[in-house]
Amino acid sequence: MRILAVDTCTEPGSLALLLEGGVLDMEELPSGWHSTTLHEKVLRLLGRHGLTSREISGYGVTAGPGAFTGVRIGLTAVKGLAEAHGKPMVSLSTLETLAAAAQAVRKDRSPAVWAPLLDARRGQIFGAVYRLEGEQSSPAIREQVCPLNHFLEQVKAAGWNDLRFCGMDREPFWKEVREAGWNGDSVIELPPRLAGALAQITLRRLEAGRGIPALAAEANYVRASDAELFWKE
């Protein structure tokens, strides 16, 4: 099975091509990228392996939360490819992808509780808590956008002794997490380029028959866009 995975919800954005035998190749999106850049990177990645998009078995994409433009462009591009070629896709929450990536980095497949964090700007974070057991993931605290201290209060009230935080940059969060009572081992910083982890998750879900048609994939913004907020005011 050949998987193309696209993450445009985190920085830096990235693409991953997962081939038979576990061969994984990746492309990173440059700063200031736009939709044309994304399509050029897809063609470059596929071209290195002599492939066209019609030869891809299935697609994976992070559907948000993240920057609105990134969510929209990435999801639109992947849906277009999947629909054009009649292939299944996996549309996954950025936060759930972060939690699964942390579990893989940990290399311990025992059940774990992860709290992925993503900078939402404006003094807020995107956060959630997931229980991971094998290939199963279940939300323990819903996805939300709020100040970090508010999210930490919810996590502390739940009383998980084995909970760990994860994200692609620990610096914006570490000070408050430490002041709330957690130590350094409780915060896992993930390597950049989330598309590699997304490709692995996509493969497992497609093999389990959990793919969806392109038209069923929807953006997961979590919070309203600036345009919506200004219109309500």
Q: What is the pTM of this model?
A: 0.92
Whole-number pLDDT of residue 7: 98
Locate 61 and state its tokens.
Answer: 């994409």
Q: What is the pLDDT of residue 185?
A: 85
Domains by residue range for the chain, with CATH: 3-93+193-232 (3.30.420.40), 95-189 (3.30.420.40)
Rounded to whole angstroms, how far apart are CA atoms 32 and 26?
19
pLDDT in single tens digits along all 233 residues of the chain: 999 999 999 999 999 999 999 999 999 999 999 999 999 999 999 999 999 999 999 999 999 999 999 999 999 999 999 999 999 999 999 999 999 999 988 766 688 999 999 999 999 999 999 999 877 899 999 999 999 999 999 999 999 988 999 999 889 999 999 999 999 889 999 988 999 999 999 999 999 999 999 999 999 999 764 434 333 34
CA-CA distance, 157 to 165, in Å (whole number)?
A: 15
Sheet order of strands, 3-7 included: 24-28, 14-18, 3-7, 58-62, 89-92
Q: What is the DSSP letter of 215?
A: G
Give the helix/strand (H/E) hosting 18: strand 14-18
